[in-house]
């Protein structure tokens, strides 16, 4: 993989060593943002992509775009926080080589301003959702002699971020779960890694700012962008390239 630097950020030329032809990946939350970028890049590398998404329309659109570029992709409407739905979806998909736990939601609030309902909602999607997919995928990996798991954590897992109590809790759990799974399944040839992005500019971010900072969208966007060491938010495609690199030496 060759890295090029430019005014608009980093650009990558993906080498043949990252060829995923013949591999099958499940990507949760693949209908938009980082998940969509990962699904698109994996498909370009020859992977058959299965997108699990609560928003079926968004997933279908991603699939259509991938197929228009001669990629192989399929979509499934599924609430990752409901284990029976997840198990049924994985059964429908069948064998797989890669699981990307990307689905997640955010929340603004401190410990004493976060309601029990909101705390539980964030936990159910971000933490339980990832667990449900691990629960469904690991037996398949064990049966097939191995696999790769990539969990989407966040810098919030290790750095205090103002007013992000529940979100930080959930990403800290993802980080810890990654270490646990990586250790528990070494002998099963299952590798588990995580990615911890900082702020990434996605449609989710735009909607989040509009909802919580109405009338101050430009001000907040600039503030959040300048808070990053590089002076801007990351791009979904940059995170997708890191995700692809994390699959290196896939069985």
By annotation, the residues acting in catalysis are 167
Strands (E) across the chain are located at 2-6, 9-13, 24-28, 48-53, 72-77, 98-101, 147-152, 190-195
d(CA 145, CA 133): 18
Does residue 30 sit in helix, strand or coil? coil
What Cα–Cα distance (Å) separates residue 5 from each residue in 13, 81, 133, 238? 11, 39, 36, 12
Dihedral angle over CA of 157, 162, 163, 164, nearest 10:
-10
Helices (H) and strands (E) in the chain, counts: 9, 8
């Amino acid at each position: 993989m060759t890295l090029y630097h430019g005014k608009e950020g980093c650009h990558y030329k993906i080498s043949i060593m990252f060829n995923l032809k013949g591999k099958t990946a499940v990507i949760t939350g693949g209908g938009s943002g980082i998940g969509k970028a990962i699904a698109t890049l994996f498909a370009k590398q020859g992977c058959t992509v299965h997108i699990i998404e609560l928003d079926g329309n968004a997933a279908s659109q991603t699939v259509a775009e991938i197929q228009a570029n001669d990629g192989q992709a399929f979509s499934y409407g599924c609430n990752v926080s409901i284990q029976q739905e997840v198990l049924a979806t994985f059964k429908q998909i069948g064998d797989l080589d890669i699981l990307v736990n990307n689905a997640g939601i955010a929340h603004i609030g401190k410990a004493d301003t976060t309601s029990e309902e909101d705390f539980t909602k964030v936990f159910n999607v971000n933490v339980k959702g990832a667990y449900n997919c691990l629960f469904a995928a690991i037996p398949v990996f064990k049966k097939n002699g191995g696999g790769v798991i990539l969990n989407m954590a966040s810098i919030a897992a290790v750095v205090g971020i103002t007013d992000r109590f529940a979100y930080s809790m959930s990403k800290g759990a993802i980080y810890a779960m990654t270490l646990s799974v990586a250790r528990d399944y070494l002998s099963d040839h299952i590798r588990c890694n995580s990615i911890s992005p900082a702020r990434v500019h996605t449609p989710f971010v735009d909607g989040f700012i509009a909802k919580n900072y109405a009338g101050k969208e430009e001000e907040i966007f600039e503030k959040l962008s300048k808070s990053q060491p590089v002076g801007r938010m990351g791009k979904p495609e940059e995170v997708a390239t890191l995700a692809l690199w994390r699959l290196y030496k896939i069985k």
